[in-house]
C-alpha cells in the first residue's frame, strides 16, 4: 500500500511517500524559517500562503524521486491538526481534492501521533508498548503508547513547552529565530557550574512540567550580569542543563511507574545533543532503552504523516475507506480523544 503524506501544520511543508512493503520511498521538505526570521516568529498568514506555493511542486518532486505516478498512490494522509488553522487547511484541501480525483481514501492524521510514531521509521525501532516523550515548540508531554491509536497521557506542561522556553530564552540572550538551535549551539561554549538555575516541578510528585518560571529566572540572571559572549554561553548552558535534567528525570519516573523499559523521544527538542546523551546514559543504567527518530524527522515532516496514515490503514484491515467528500481541520485537538482503529 502506497501512502502520500502531506504536512502543513505550521512553518514546514513536508511531503512523503511511504510503502507498507518497501518503506519510505522519498520525502521532501521546505522550511519557512528564513521568511519568518525577519519577524522573530511564525506569521500565520504568511505561513499559509507559502504552503499554497510549495505543496504541489513538492508533491511532484516527491513522486519523481520515488519514480511513482500519481495514479499509483493508494491513500492520502494529511495533517488534520493541531496547528495553525489556515496552514492546516492547505494540506487538508489538497489531500481531499486528490482523494476525490483519484477515488482513493484520505485520512486526517493527528500531528502528534505522527511524532509519536516517527521513531518506528528508524532502525532499530521500539516495540509496543513504550513511553513517549514529546518535546517540541508547542508540546511537552509524556504518553504511554500501547498500540496505534491507543495513547494515555501521563503528564504535560502546565505552561510553556520546552521548545517554547528555548526560543524565549534565546530571544532574551539576543539570539535569532528559531532560537532553540542557536541556544544549544551557544551552550556548547558554556562553562559548567558558573550558574545554577531552578529545576521547576522536578520534585512535584507527578509527571507534569513547567518552564515559564525557568525563563523568568534567566531574565533575572541576565539583569544582574554584565553580558559578554562568554556569560551568554554560560547562561545558555545552565538553562539547557535545567531543561535536560527535568525532562530526563520525569521520563525515567514514567518508565519506573509503568514498568516499561522503552522510551521514545520525538519532536524538535529531541534533536538536542545533551538531552540525547543524558537520557541514553541514565536510561541504560536503569536497564531501559531510548529510541530517537533520525534528525531529519525530529522537526515537522511528511514522512511521519505518511507513516502514521499507513499504520492506521493497517490497523483497520476490515474497514471500508471512501474517498473524501469533505474535510475539516482541528487547530486544537486532544491526542487522547483520537479515534481508535477499528481492529
List, for residues 212-236, the tens digit of each pLDDT value.
899 999 999 999 999 999 999 999 9
- The answer to whether residue 343 sits within a structural domain is no
- The answer to whether residue 41 sits within a structural domain is yes
- The answer to whether residue 60 sits within a structural domain is yes
Are both 148 and 268 inside the same structural domain?
yes
How many Å from the N-terminal Cα to the C-terminal Cα in the chain? Answer: 18
Are both 280 and 315 inside the same structural domain?
no
Number of domains the chain contains = 2
Are both 285 and 306 inside the same structural domain?
no
Are both 266 and 310 inside the same structural domain?
no
pLDDT digits over 14-46, tens only?
Answer: 999 999 999 999 999 999 999 998 888 899 999
Are both 179 and 55 inside the same structural domain?
no
- The answer to whether residue 265 sits within a structural domain is yes
Q: Give the CA distances from residue 56 to residues 36, 60, 71, 78, 300, in Å, rounded to whole numbers and listed in that order.
A: 21, 6, 15, 14, 18
Are both 262 and 223 inside the same structural domain?
yes
Class of residue 224 by CB neighbours under 10 A (exposed 0-12, middle 13-18, buried 19+): exposed
Are both 140 and 276 inside the same structural domain?
yes
Are both 287 and 312 inside the same structural domain?
no
pLDDT digits over 64-111, tens only?
Answer: 999 999 999 999 999 999 999 999 999 999 999 999 999 999 999 999
How many angstroms separate the CA atoms of 252 and 248, rounded? 6
- Nearest residue to 198 (alpha-carbon basis) of 177, 220, 176, 180: 220
For residue 258, give its domain range: 125-292
Does residue 343 have a pLDDT over 70? no
Are both 286 and 313 inside the same structural domain?
no
Does residue 57 have a pLDDT over 90? yes
CATH of the domain at 316: 3.30.420.40
How many angstroms separate the CA atoms of 66 and 275, rounded? 34
Are both 151 and 271 inside the same structural domain?
yes
pLDDT digits over 131-162, tens only?
Answer: 999 998 788 999 999 999 999 999 999 999 99
Look at the block and give the residue holding cell 548552558: 237
Cell, residue 65: 524521486
Amino acid at each position: 500500500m502506497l501512502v502520500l503524506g502531506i504536512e502543513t501544520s505550521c512553518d514546514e511543508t513536508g511531503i512523503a511517500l511511504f510503502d507498507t512493503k518497501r518503506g519510505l520511498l522519498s520525502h521532501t521538505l521546505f522550511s519557512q524559517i528564513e521568511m519568518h526570521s525577519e519577524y522573530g516568529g511564525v506569521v500565520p498568514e504568511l505561513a499559509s500562503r507559502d504552503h499554497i506555493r510549495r505543496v504541489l511542486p513538492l508533491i511532484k518532486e516527491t513522486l519523481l524521486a520515488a519514480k511513482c505516478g500519481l495514479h499509483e498512490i493508494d491513500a492520502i494522509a494529511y495533517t488534520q491538526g493541531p496547528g495553525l488553522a489556515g496552514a492546516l487547511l492547505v494540506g487538508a484541501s489538497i489531500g481531499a481534492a486528490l482523494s476525490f480525483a483519484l477515488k482513493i481514501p484520505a485520512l486526517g492524521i493527528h500531528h502528534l501521533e505522527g511524532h509519536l510514531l516517527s521513531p518506528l521509521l528508524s532502525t532499530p525501532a521500539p516495540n509496543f508498548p513504550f513511553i513517549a516523550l514529546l518535546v517540541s515548540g508547542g508540546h511537552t508531554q509524556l504518553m504511554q503508547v500501547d498500540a496505534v491509536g491507543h495513547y494515555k497521557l501521563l503528564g504535560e506542561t502546565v505552561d510553556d513547552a520546552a521548545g517554547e522556553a528555548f526560543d524565549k530564552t534565546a530571544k532574551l540572550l539576543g539570539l535569532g529565530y528559531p532560537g532553540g538551535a542557536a541556544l544549544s549551539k551557544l551552550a556548547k561554549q558554556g562553562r559548567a557550574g558558573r550558574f545554577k538555575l531552578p529545576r521547576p516541578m522536578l520534585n512535584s510528585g507527578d509527571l507534569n512540567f513547567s518552564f515559564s518560571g525557568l525563563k523568568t529566572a534567566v531574565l533575572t540572571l541576565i539583569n544582574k550580569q554584565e553580558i559578554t559572549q562568554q556569560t551568554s554561553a554560560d547562561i545558555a548552558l545552565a538553562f539547557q542543563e535545567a531543561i535536560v535534567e527535568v525532562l530526563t528525570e520525569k521520563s525515567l519516573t514514567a518508565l519506573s511507574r509503568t514498568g516499561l523499559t522503552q522510551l521514545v523521544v520525538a519532536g524538535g527538542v529531541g534533536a538536542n545533543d545533551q538531552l540525547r546523551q543524558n537520557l541514553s546514559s541514565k536510561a541504560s543504567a536503569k536497564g531501559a532503552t531510548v529510541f530517537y527518530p533520525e534528525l531529519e524527522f525530529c522537526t515537522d515532516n511528511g514522512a511521519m504523516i505518511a507513516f502514521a496514515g499507513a499504520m492506521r490503514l493497517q490497523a483497520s484491515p476490515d474497514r471500508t475507506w471512501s474517498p473524501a467528500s469533505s474535510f475539516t481541520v482541528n487547530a486544537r485537538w486532544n491526542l487522547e480523544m483520537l479515534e481508535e482503529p477499528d481492529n
